[in-house]
Chain A
Amino acid sequence: DAKTTQPPSMDCAEGRAANLPCNHSTISGNEYVYWYRQIHSQGPQYIIHGLKNNETNEMASLIITEDRKSSTLILPHATLRDTAVYYCIVSFSGGGADGLTFGKGTHLIIQP
């Protein structure tokens, strides 16, 4: 079973920041938080990951609380192409090959 909890759906206006929350209260010390998204009928796409520090890349920012029990993915200027299902996943990083455990994710709908 997935170790994360996400709202099933969210709406956001085009051009605004989309903030997607995730709870992972049982995360262990050596597990990272990963975010992927899946646009309809395509393969999932990696977005970003982090351990305990906030992270930013060209796609998004990841804010992880100090106790690591929750995180927020921020898409700073959402566009219609950001409409997708967003998955928050906890996983080990490095070492062996680790399969990902997907939950139901958040269906983010960007409104024009």
Chain B
Amino acid sequence: ETGVTQTPRHLVMGMTNKKSLKCEQHLGHNAMYWYKQSAKKPLELMFVYSLEERVENNSVPSRFSPECPNSSHLFLHLHTLQPEDSALYLCASSRQGINNEQFFGPGTRLTVL
């Protein structure tokens, strides 16, 4: 596979569930990002990882927990979410030191009941 992949593509969960979103990039990039896109709102940056270390946490609630075990994989662990957390969650990657051209995955459509 090429590019940036995200699984699952769709997820429905209850407020007491624990789930994880997975992102994988096959581009040899060394920076990865999580964005959130709620209905009728601009994309919001959530987390930035550079060389597998978190470099930015954009005031995201602790019920969202990112993990970057290596430069190719990024996870977003979810627990005790609220219905207002329903959104499209997008992962992106880029190569530091070149430019800020970010490659986005197709996203995970999350619905919290």
Contact = CB atoms under 8 A, between A and B. Distances in A.
B88 A44 contact: no
A104 B42 contact: yes
A16 B102 CA distance: 28
Nearest to A46: B101
Contacts, number: 74
Contact residues of B: prevailing secondary structure:
strand
Given A96-B50, A97-B55, A45 B104 contact: yes
A86 interface: no
Contact of B50 (A2, A44, A97): A97
Interface stretch (A20-28, A58-66, A73-81, A87-95): A87-95
Contacts of B102: 44, 46, 100
A41 B6 CA distance: 14
A43 B106 contact: yes
Interface residues of A, number: 25
Given A94-B97, A98-B100, A43 B4 contact: yes
Contacts of A32: 99-100
B46 to A, nearest CB: 9
B6 to A, nearest CB: 8
Which 10 residue pairs are nearest across A and B when measured between Cβ atoms? A43-B104, A97-B31, A99-B45, A97-B50, A102-B43, A102-B42, A93-B99, A46-B101, A91-B100, A44-B104
